[in-house]
Copies of this chain bind each other. A is one copy, B any other.
Amino acid sequence: MKTVIYGAACSLDGFIAGLDDGVDWLKWSDEVAALSAETFAAVDTVVMGRRTYEVALRLGTRSYPGVRNIVFSKTLAPDQHEEVEVIADDAVSVVREMRQEAGPGICVMGGGRLAASLLAADLIDEIGVNVHPVLLGKGIPFLAHVTRRIDLERIACRPLQHGCVYAYYRVIRSD
């Protein structure tokens, strides 16, 4: 079974992007590069929602190398986005099926709504956050519409450069 990892950078008040999907507060560092490399070494698939994909495009990332890139969208035209697989089917069903396969993990790049729907369906195994030293007040929540209490086990926690705080959790399942 594949491990499904939701990784995100967020503000201290829990937004992964400000209004208008703004991410000008994001801090890149060697440590973040190393953490990303670590994650990419453990997964063979990256899944994301349409808005997250569009933010990545705007930042110059057309796709992530060395992995299968899946964008869930009912509106994007697949033939105009050939660097990724645009899938119009229900994300929860697709991820549920992929998770049953053997092999490296699946990284959920965002957004918060996709991650929350996967969490609600009990399909997220691990959550990594890089909390940035900023309050945004408004924007896209790290996790929108979590529908039940979910307990976590902290696996890692450490300060990163630029005043960031990294924490990594495993989802505790009651079954």
Contacts and interface: CB of A to CB of B under 8 A. Distances in A.
A51 interface: no
Interface stretch (A52-60, A71-79, A91-99, A137-145): A137-145
Interface residues of A, number: 36
Contacts of A134: 149-152
A1 interface: no
A104 interface: no
A158 to B, nearest CB: 7
A144 to B, nearest CB: 9
A159 interface: yes
Interface in A20-59: 25
A148 B151 CA distance: 31
Among A131, A151, A152, A165, find the residue whose CB has the most chain B CB atoms closer than 10 A: A165
A138 B145 CA distance: 8
Contacts of A136: 146, 149
A154 B165 contact: yes
19 contacts: A13-B14, A25-B151, A131-B131, A133-B154, A134-B149, A134-B150, A135-B149, A135-B150, A137-B145, A137-B146, A137-B147, A137-B149, A152-B163, A154-B164, A157-B157, A157-B158, A157-B165, A165-B165, A165-B167
